[in-house]
Amino acid sequence: MASSPASRWGDTILRMYEPAMVRLHVRGRFKGNGFVVHSDGGVKLIMTCQHVVEGLPVNAVVTAYFSESCGGKTNARLLFADVDRDLALLRADGVHRQIQPVLFTDEPARLGNEILLLTFFDMDGAMVVRPGTFPGEITEAPFIFSLEPNLVETIVGNYTAKKGSSGAPVIAVPSLQAIGVNIRGQIGMKGAVSVRTILEALRSRIADAEENATVAELLELIAG
């Protein structure tokens, strides 16, 4: 059986974005994924899900482990957690390695678009130390839980999401840009917090944010 376009992009996505992936440990236990979304000198911003860091106060420190092939770990400080949108942003300082941040698409998600989940995961109690890729496609129209200005929207796909894959990026092919952040899946359904929702979450943290600002531009403002 022929492989899907998304599966054929797996190696390319790993080469491009594996250095940006981190495993997040809270109080010594693996809780989920995060990924670098902004890199400027030693400053790295890491996006994940709110439920991965649930219960932590702002400025709490989370240990972030890079992929085994990249080596090392860093301490990241929680900047904010948005319960309604299930998003959180952390900041790591002093990480001077060059990392290509995961970029977010400006294109709307469309039914049938090929996508791929890039994630660390728990495999029968053993934690993988390098991320894997899981192809799929968008299977439904975006599911809107709440309208603007408090938009909460989920992109639904049929990729495989194993235990521990919350907070990982869902990437479109062939653009190689993220359509959202993987969240808890229901039986038979996997979901990602949409880029539109991410934009609203970031705007809510910035006074007088421009309406047409991109995710990258808003992250740059937050990073200072």
Determine the average pLDDT of the residues in 43-70.
95
Structure tokens at 60: 């709490």
What is the band of 36 on the pLDDT scale with cuts at 50, 70, 90?
very high
Alpha-carbon distance of 205 to 207, in angstroms, equals 7
Domains, the chain, ordered by start? 15-92 (2.40.10.10), 103-201 (2.40.10.10)
Q: Which helix (H) or strand (E) holds 200?
A: helix 195-203
What is the rounded distance in angstroms from the CA atom of residue 120 to the CA atom of residue 56?
A: 22
pLDDT band at 186 (very low <50, low <70, confident <90, very high): low
Mean pLDDT over residues 114-120, rounded? 95
* Mean pLDDT in residue range 41-67: 97
36-57 average pLDDT score? 98
Q: Tell me what the mean pLDDT of segment 25-30 comes to.
A: 92
Which pLDDT value is given to residue 1? 42
Structure confidence at residue 73 (pLDDT):
94
Whether the model clears a pTM of 0.85, i.e. scores above it, the answer is yes
DSSP, residue by residue, 147-173: -TTS-EEEEEE-----TT-TT-EEEET
Percent of the chain with pLDDT over 90: 74
Count Cβ atoms below 10 Å from residue 72 Cβ, excluding itself.
Answer: 11
Structure tokens at 186: 């229901």
DSSP notation for 65-113: EEPTTT--EEEEEEEEEETTTTEEEEEE-S--S---PPPBP-SPP-TT-
pLDDT at 209: 86
